[in-house]
Amino acid sequence: MHSLRPGRYRKSLSAIRPAALAAAFSCLPILSTGSAQHGTTAVSPNPRPVSPPPPYRVVHGWPDLPVGELLGAVAGVGVDSRDNVFVFRRAGRVWASAELDTIPIARTTVLLFEGRTGTLLAAWGEHTFGMPHGLTVDREDNVWLTDVALHQVFKFSHDGRLLLTLGQRGVPADDSAHFNRPTDVAVARDGSVYVSDGYGNSRVMKFAPDGRFLFQWGTKGSGPGQFDLPHGLALAPTGNLYVADRSNARVQIFDSGGSYLREWKGPALGRPYGIAVGRDGTVFVVDGGDQPDAPPDRSGVVVLGPDGSVLERFGRFGNYDGQFALAHDIAVASDGSVYVVDITGGRVQKFVRGAR
C-alpha cells in the first residue's frame, strides 16, 4: 500500500474547451424483449418534466495527477462509500496478441482518487496482475478485480490486502473452479457474487459470499439467456442483474436466480461495454463503438430509465475533454457524479450535471 500525500500536481488540459456534446437522445425508445413469448415491443418513454435536468458536463482538470504521472490504459472504475474513485490500469502492459503476458506488472495498478478534488489518495496492486480488466467496489468497500491474463477474480480490502481469490492462476477452463478471461463482478446486498466469464466462456457464474460456487447460466449465442462476450455487470435496486452483452450489442436482464427477463437493444444503445446503476434505478451504459480500423466511430454514455427508455446521451468519439476513444467502464457516485474510463484514450473523466 502506498499512501500519497497531496503535493505539487500537474493540471489536466483544463485550458482546452471540449467540442459540443452529442445531441441528447431524449426519450427515444429502445427495444425490450419479453421473456414469455420472446416478442419484441417498443418501450414507451416515461413522461419527462416540463423542465428537463441540465445536461452532463465534463469536469476539466479531474483527476489532478502528480507531476510526471500518466494513467495509461485504464480498464475498470468504481466508487466507494465516500464517493472516492478507484481505477484499475494496465500500467504499460499491452494486449497485443492472443497470448497474454502473465508476468506481474511491476507498477501500481489500482489508484484511488478523491472524488471531489481528483487528488490521488493511494496506489497499490504492484507485482500482482497480468492484464487488469474489471473493478467493482462492494457495499463494505472491498475492491473486486478481474484479470483476463491470469483467469482469476480477486477480492481486496479498501487498503489493498488480499482477502479472497477465485480461479487458478494462468489456467483457463469452463468448470465451476475456473474462468476463461473473466471480465467483471457484481456483488449483491447479501454478499453473493456474480462474475461475467467472459472472453473465453460465454456465461455468468454466481458464488456465495465465501467464494463457494452456486450456479451458472449462459452459452455462446444470440438467443435469450445466451451471450457473446458478457463484458460488464450491474445490479438494479430490485436485485435484478444487468449484463452488457457486448458482441450481441444488447443489455440482458435476469433475476437473482439467473432467469431471463428481457433485453434492451437498438441503435440508440450502441454496443454496451460497461454498465452502472444509480441510486434511483437510472441505468448508465457506455457504448464503446464498433472499433473499426480507422475512424469514423462512436463512443459515449447512454442514460436509460428502469424501463429501458433512453433519456439522454452524452459524450462522443474523440480525444478532447468530454469525448472518448473507447469508453470501457462506468461508475456512478451517490452524489450523481459519473465516472468513465477510456481505455484507448488512457484517462478517466468525471461528469456532473449543471452549468459551468
Helix (H, G, I), strand (E, B) or coil at 91: coil
In this prediction, residue 354 carries a pLDDT of 85
Q: Spell out the residues 6+ positions from residue 319 whose beta carbon is closer than 8 angstroms to its own.
A: 325, 345
Please give the pLDDT value at position 23: 41
Task: Give, for all 356 residues of the chain, the pLDDT tens digit.
Answer: 444 433 333 333 333 343 333 343 444 555 555 554 443 434 444 555 557 889 999 999 999 999 999 999 999 999 999 999 999 999 999 999 999 999 999 999 999 999 999 999 999 999 999 999 999 999 999 999 999 999 999 999 999 999 999 999 999 999 999 999 999 999 999 999 999 999 999 999 999 999 999 999 999 999 999 999 999 999 999 999 999 999 999 999 999 999 999 999 999 999 999 999 999 999 999 999 999 999 999 999 999 999 999 999 999 999 999 999 999 999 999 999 999 999 999 999 999 998 66
Residue 187 lies in a domain: yes
Closest CA to 80 of 132, 34, 142, 35: 142
- Which CA distances in Å does 155 have to 137, 138, 158, 307? 9, 10, 10, 32
Total number of domains constituting the chain: 1
Q: Is residue 139 part of a domain?
A: yes
189 contacts: CB under 8 Å, gap ≥ 6: 139, 239
Looking at residue 81, its amino acid is S
3-state class of 192 per DSSP? coil
- 283 domain residue, yes or no: yes
Query: Is 34 among the domain residues?
Result: no
Q: Which amino acid is at 328?
A: H
Q: Is residue 279 part of a domain?
A: yes
Q: What pLDDT was estimated at residue 51?
A: 77
Q: How far apart are CA 144 and CA 139, in angstroms?
A: 11
Count the Cβ atoms, other than its own, within 10 Å of residue 252: 25
Residue 14 lies in a domain: no
Q: How many helices (H) and strands (E) does the chain have?
A: 0, 27
Report the CATH number that the domain containing residue 328 is assigned in CATH.
2.120.10.30
Q: Cα–Cα distance between 74 and 20 in angstroms, integer?
A: 24
313 Cα distance to chain centroid: 17
214 lies in some domain: yes
Which of 14, 125, 141, 131 lies closest to 85 in space, CA to CA? 141
d(CA 151, CA 234): 21
- How far, in Å, CA of 267 to CA of 302, rounded? 11
Nearest to 194 by CA among 257, 274, 286: 257
Give this prediction's pTM: 0.88
Burial of 126 (0-12, 13-18, 19+ CB in 10 A): middle
Alpha-carbon distance of 235 to 301, in angstroms, equals 18
Residue 30 lies in a domain: no
DSSP 101: P
- Per the listing, cell 482477502 goes with 163
**How far does CA 147 lie from the centroid of its chain?**
14
Q: Which residue range is the domain that position 199 belongs to?
A: 56-353
- Residue 22: which region, alpha, beta or left (left: phi > 0; alpha: psi -120 to 50)? beta
